[in-house]
């Protein structure tokens, strides 16, 4: 209902103008009949009534036109006087009230001048046409003071109503803008969460599938020469698949119960990760300096995923005989990571891939930084990063 009223708000003044015209037309039809021989005496009144009704009808949407029409009506009365009920001049009060509520800035001053001028003009018309001051000389100065003051009061009341209305509109606009910003923030959060989920799934599956692929190739090559090694390779494949399935299940369960993200795996699980990659054929060395302290669960998860992605890239892009060296340095207030890999094939993964982008983004969200690029050694690749302790991620 309120929306319907807002849509039809522009009809209010035209409806008031039509009602005003019709009521006065019925009231004056007996004294101002449009008949042959009487047109010259009655047409000024009808023209006056029409101009005043037009001024009321467009007072909000076209306030300048409204003031012009009302001024023309006053001038017509001064040039071609046509007596009617003095109450007909109440229409000017309606125009002043609505116009002053609609205009702003310098036009508000014009509206004040119009209101005061209309009061003076109506006082003159009442004294000149209707002789309302006859027998009461003191009434004339009273009218010339009271009516302009009444016009100023109506202007002041209309200005106040306009200010309140515009303040309410500003509040509604602010509320709409706030709601839109909240919706945009929710959408951004959802998008960020989708990106996090995609990155987690990528990290889990890329690592597991790389291990499975390496073990499958090894088992295929060794099936004839060393058949006793096949069961171990198949066991590693099963463990990698089972681990990835478990991590994906944990991720899915986390989305249902904990929107802030899960805390596993963490740095304590790196030994298991390294062993899986060693079983897959990647020669991995790990050096640790200091005890990791002060990192949040999210920061430990970020560090784990960075190491996982770096070693997975070394296995995937390094070819047979690839090796990697992981350095975890916690002697400073934070955690420094270094993953250096070499291989017979180029180990440099595509610079625009999700893996490198994900590592950089994880380090950034953890409050740190990460750099990755080709090393000086042939076929080498180096990942270095730093995560400060205690930064919310």
Q: Which of 37-41, 45-49, 117-121, 218-222 has the highest mean pLDDT?
A: 117-121
Which is nearest to 381 in space by CA: 331, 338, 347?
347
Q: Coil, helix or strand for 120?
A: helix
CA atoms of 271 and 286, how far apart (whole Å):
9
**pLDDT, average across residues 241-268:** 58
Which is nearest to 119 in space by CA: 91, 157, 145, 82?
145
Strand residues in the chain grouped as ranges (E) = 283-289, 323-329, 334-342, 369-374, 381-388
Which is nearest to 297 in space by CA: 264, 272, 271?
264
Q: For the segment 45-85, what is each residue's pLDDT rounded down to a tens digit?
A: 888 888 998 999 888 888 999 999 999 988 888 887 776 67
State residue 257's pLDDT score. 44
State residue 347's pLDDT score. 44
CA distance readout (Å), 293 to 289, 331, 370, 374: 12, 9, 20, 31
CA atoms of 141 and 160, how far apart (whole Å):
29
What are the tokens at 95? Answer: 């125009």
State residue 142's pLDDT score. 86
With beta carbons less than 8 A apart as the criterion, state whether 360 and 386 touch. no
What are the tokens at 275? Answer: 């062993």
State residue 263's pLDDT score. 45
CA atoms of 113 and 106, how far apart (whole Å):
11
CA atoms of 111 and 118, how far apart (whole Å):
10
pLDDT at 206 over 70: no
- Count CB neighbours of 229 within 10 A: 14
CA atoms of 269 and 346, how far apart (whole Å):
28
81 compared with 23, residue with greater pLDDT: 23
DSSP-H helix ranges across 80-138 = 90-102, 106-128
CA distance readout (Å), 313 to 214, 240, 345, 374: 12, 16, 12, 13
Cis peptide before 265 (omega within 30 of 0): yes
State residue 369's pLDDT score. 92
94 compared with 248, residue with greater pLDDT: 94
CA atoms of 265 and 301, how far apart (whole Å):
6
Q: Which domains does the chain have, with CATH numbers?
A: 2-132 (no CATH), 183-388 (3.30.565.10)
pLDDT at 306 over 70: yes
pLDDT at 274 over 80: yes
CB-based burial label for 105 (10 Å; 0-12, 13-18, 19+): exposed
What are the tokens at 72? Answer: 């023309």
What are the tokens at 326? Answer: 């992981």
State residue 335's pLDDT score. 92
State residue 259's pLDDT score. 45
Q: Is the dihedral of CA 56, 58, 63, 68 positive or negative?
A: negative
State residue 78's pLDDT score. 82
pLDDT at 248 over 70: no
- Count CB neighbours of 213 within 10 A: 15
Helices and strands per DSSP (H, E), number in the chain: 11, 5
pLDDT at 202 over 80: no
208-212, 280-284, 354-358: the lowest-pLDDT one: 208-212
Please provide residue 136's backbone torsions phi and psi, each rounded to the nearest 5 degrees: -135, 80
Please measure the distance between the N-terminal and C-terminal CA atoms of the chain and give it in whole angstroms.
Answer: 47
Q: For the segment 312-364, what is each residue's pLDDT rounded down to a tens digit?
A: 888 777 766 788 999 999 988 889 999 998 876 544 444 545 677 778 888 88
Q: For the segment 142-164, what is each residue's pLDDT rounded down to a tens digit?
A: 888 899 999 899 999 989 988 88
15-19, 37-41, 72-76, 129-133: the lowest-pLDDT one: 37-41
Unique residue bearing structure tokens 């071609």 = 80
Q: For the segment 284-299, what is each residue's pLDDT rounded down to a tens digit?
A: 999 999 888 888 887 8
User: For the chain, what percent of residues have pLDDT higher than 70?
Assistant: 70
Which residues make Cβ contacts (< 8 Å) with residue 111, sequence separation at least 6? Answer: 63, 67, 96, 99, 100, 103, 155, 158
pLDDT at 281 over 80: no
């Amino acid at each position: 209902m309120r929306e319907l009223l807002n849509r039809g708000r522009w009809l209010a003044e035209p409806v008031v103008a039509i009602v005003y015209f019709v009521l006065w037309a019925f009231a004056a039809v007996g004294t101002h009949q449009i008949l042959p021989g009487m047109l010259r005496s009655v047409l000024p009144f009808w023209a006056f009534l029409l101009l005043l009704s037009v001024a009321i009808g467009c007072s909000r949407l076209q306030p300048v036109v409204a003031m012009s029409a009302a001024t023309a009506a006053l001038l017509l009365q001064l040039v071609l006087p046509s007596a009617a009920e003095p109450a007909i001049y109440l229409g000017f009060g309606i125009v002043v009230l609505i116009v002053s509520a609609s205009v702003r800035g310098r036009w508000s001053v014009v509206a004040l001048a119009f209101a005061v001028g209309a009061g003076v003009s109506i006082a003159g018309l009442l004294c000149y046409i209707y002789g309302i001051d006859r027998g009461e000389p003191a009434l004339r100065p009273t009218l010339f003071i009271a009516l302009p003051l009444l016009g100023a009061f109506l202007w002041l009341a209309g200005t106040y109503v306009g200010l309140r209305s515009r303040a309410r509109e500003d509040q509604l606009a602010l509320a709409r803008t706030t709601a839109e910003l909240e919706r945009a923030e929710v959408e951004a959060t959802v998008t960020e969460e989708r990106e996090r989920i995609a990155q987690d799934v990528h990290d889990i599956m890329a690592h597991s599938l790389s291990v499975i692929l390496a073990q499958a190739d090894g088992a295929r090559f060794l099936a004839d020469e060393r058949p006793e090694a096949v069961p171990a390779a198949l066991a590693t494949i099963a463990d990698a698949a089972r681990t990835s399935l478990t991590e994906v299940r944990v991720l899915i369960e986390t989305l249902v119960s904990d929107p802030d993200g899960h805390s596993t795996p963490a740095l304590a699980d790196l030994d298991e990760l390294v062993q899986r990659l060693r079983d897959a054929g990647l020669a991995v060395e790990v050096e640790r300096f200091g005890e990791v302290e002060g990192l949040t669960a999210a920061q430990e998860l970020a560090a784990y995923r960075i190491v996982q992605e770096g070693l997975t890239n070394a296995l995937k892009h390094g070819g047979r005989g690839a090796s990697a060296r992981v350095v975890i340095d916690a002697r400073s207030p934070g955690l420094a990571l270094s993953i250096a890999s070499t291989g017979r094939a180029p180990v440099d993964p595509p610079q625009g891939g999700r893996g490198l982008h994900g590592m950089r983004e994880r380090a950034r969200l953890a409050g740190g930084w990460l750099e990755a690029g080709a090393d000086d050694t042939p076929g080498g690749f180096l990942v270095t990063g730093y995560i400060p302790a205690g930064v919310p991620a």
